[in-house]
Amino acid sequence: MDSTKLRTLLGVLRCTNCSDGRLAAADGDSLKCGACGASYPIVDDAVDFLDAATSQTFGIEETENISDHPYDGNAIALIERAKENAGLVLDCGSGFKLAKYDHVVQLEIVNYPNVDVLAVNQALPFADETFDVVFSADVLEHVDDPFTSGSEIARILKPGGYVYVDLPFLQPEHGYPNHYFNATRQGLRRLFPTMSPVGHHVPSSGHPIFTLRSLLAIYNAGLPDDLRPEFTSLTVGDVLARSEIEWLDHAICSELATESQWLIASTTQAVLQKELGSSANAPFALDAADLPGFRHA
């Protein structure tokens, strides 16, 4: 690991085992907590906090999907402002990037070549009030508890620091490896209740045309070959001329592949059962097929 980046990390990392101890270089291959003695390996220049227990707790899975988003103009401007003021930036879910900076710590659950720290958003291995800026770009939809992640980001941010967040709203299901939550504008702000918005807008990369185009493409790909010509020949007027209920009986709806329905569903339904305790009995036995709305699912 580069000596400059290592010095930066040693100044900000904290043990996730005891939640307090500072880390020191134990040898060339690991860092060690000065309080509890926990050890964290350095794997391909990344300090690894993803032990087996952490990976199991937070459902971390191996994936061949590559999240590849270069820094946009907003991120670069914030990186430059932080450097001008001798500040630190955390890219909290960096994905694969070609750009690296001495004052930017890149954190991920996948060990891309640019990554400095392997850890989860829900338990960030940093001291309180450490960073001047935190990036969370196209990440929180892939986190199983975005509210905990929001609290962790707030904890490690300096008073007066900034979060730059990008979070989908009407975006199809996609996984790196999993996709849990999208958010409205109010939902995004609710993730950071102690912070005041400096700016909040729909960027060009989030324009509704991306939603419309992706929904239509997924829908078309999910139809049988013989129905695609009819679907692609429809005008917007044709689609709007029928109500949703009227469309449901048409083959363009009834023959849409199940996986395509999952990816772009308007809503989903579920019946869930709480786990039984050692002495408890279920109030009654139930199979989804017992319910009229699930019988043909």
pLDDT of 297 higher than 80 = no
CA distances from 101 to 78, 112, 116, 121, 270 (A): 12, 15, 11, 21, 45
* Model pLDDT for residues 144-192, shown as the tens digit of each residue: 999 999 999 999 999 999 999 999 999 999 987 889 999 999 999 999 9
In the predicted model, what is the mean pLDDT of residues 106-135? 96
The CATH fold assigned to 45-203 is Rossmann fold (3.40.50)
pLDDT at 60 over 90: no
Mean pLDDT of 47-61: 91
Q: Is the confidence at residue 278, as pLDDT, over 80? A: no
Check pLDDT > 90 for residue 19.
no
Which residues lie below 8 Å from residue 47, measured CB to CB, with a gap of 6+? 9, 13, 23, 31, 40, 41, 116, 117, 118, 125
Domain ranges in the chain are 45-203, 206-264
Spell out the alpha helix ranges (H) of the chain: 3-12, 52-57, 73-84, 146-156, 185-190, 208-221, 228-232, 236-241, 244-248, 251-254, 258-264
Q: Give ∠ CA 220-180-105 in degrees, rounded to 5.
A: 115
- Helix, strand, coil percentages (3-state) for the chain, rounded to 5, are 30, 15, 50
End-to-end CA distance of the chain: 52
Question: What's the chain's average pLDDT?
Answer: 92
Cα 251 to Cα 58, 230, 233, 243, 269: the distances in Å are: 41, 10, 15, 15, 22
Residues whose CB is less than 8 angstroms from the CB of residue 234 and which lie 6 or more positions away in sequence, other chains included: none
| Percentage of residues in the chain having pLDDT higher than 90 | 79
Cis before 172? omega within 30: no
State mean pLDDT over 127-149.
Answer: 95
Which pLDDT value is given to residue 149? 97
